[in-house]
């Protein structure tokens, strides 16, 4: 089953079931959602997603590498100031673990000037994402969530971006229109990698997916 995607601008309030993501960032400027069906239990999928090296798939390495080379040099010192247990690194860029409902959903966040050559990532804490972004900055909040689906699991990841002021929003939207396709390819590659790992140890099924 292929990855399903849905990307939009200013489309808050579409979730039927409230999630940690809804609690942290109920209003936002840009969103992108991707999902995949996996032939494994929610508990198994969650463990794989939570501990996976999200930067491992080759496509992710290539696209994140092209975008992140300047940012790597700019953020090494900041990464060292963050609490390691509350970090998850993707393509060498540090994401803060904002919230987690073990076995169901975890939420990552990063704050910066994503439209600049270095990405302008700034050191932050989980609590800062529960407040509006500072002027000149944007908050990127990103979750992974599992739910039972037939004899398997629906794994969904959604990214929401909230900008600190109208000028920042204009800059980010211009940037987003350029990178949205690549961002979707990265998310899809991550989901397929998680599916492969979660299903690897399981017995073959009939091949029928919902």
pLDDT computed for residue 91 by the predictor: 46
Fold for domain 4-9+20-197?
Alpha-D-Glucose-1,6-Bisphosphate; Chain A, domain 4 (3.30.530)
Per-residue pLDDT for the chain (210 aa), expressed as one digit of tens each? Answer: 344 444 444 444 444 578 999 999 999 999 999 999 999 999 999 999 998 877 654 434 444 444 443 344 344 444 444 444 455 555 455 688 899 999 999 999 989 898 887 778 888 888 999 999 999 999 999 899 999 999 999 999 999 999 999 999 999 999 899 888 888 888 888 899 999 999 985 655 545 455
Domain boundaries, given as residue ranges, for the chain: 4-9+20-197
The model carries a pTM of 0.75
DSSP of the chain, one letter per residue?
A: -PPEEEEEES-TT--SS--HHHHH-SS-SEEEEEEEEESS-HHHHHHHHHHS-TT-SHHHHHHHHHHHHHHHHHHHHHHHHS-GGGEEEETTEEEEEEEEETTTEEEEEEEE-TTSTT-------GGGGGSPPPTT-EEEEEEEEEEEETTEEEEEEEEEEEESSHHHHHHHHHHHHHHHHHHHHHHHHHHHHHHHHHHHTSPP------
């Amino acid at each position: 089953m292929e990855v399903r995607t849905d990307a939009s601008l200013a489309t808050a309030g579409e979730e039927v079931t409230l999630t940690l993501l809804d609690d942290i960032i109920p209003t936002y400027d840009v969103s992108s959602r991707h999902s995949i069906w996996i032939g494994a239990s929610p508990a198994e999928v969650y463990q794989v997603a939570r501990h996976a090296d999200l930067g491992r798939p080759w496509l992710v390495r290539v696209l994140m590498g092209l975008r992140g080379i300047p940012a790597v040099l700019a953020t090494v010192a900041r990464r060292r100031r963050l609490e390691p247990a509350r970090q998850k690194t993707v393509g060498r860029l540090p994401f803060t673990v904002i919230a987690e409902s073990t076995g169901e959903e975890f939420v990552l966040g990063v704050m910066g000037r994503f439209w600049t050559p270095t990405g302008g990532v700034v050191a932050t804490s989980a609590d800062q994402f529960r407040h509006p972004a500072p002027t000149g900055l944007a908050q990127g909040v990103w979750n992974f969530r599992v739910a039972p689906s037939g004899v398997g699991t629906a794994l969904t990841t959604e990214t929401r971006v909230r900008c600190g002021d109208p000028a920042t929003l204009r800059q980010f939207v211009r940037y987003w229109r350029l990178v949205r396709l690549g961002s979707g390819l990265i998310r899809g590659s991550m989901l397929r990698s998680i599916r492969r790992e979660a299903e690897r140890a399981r017995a073959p099924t009939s091949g029928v997916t919902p």
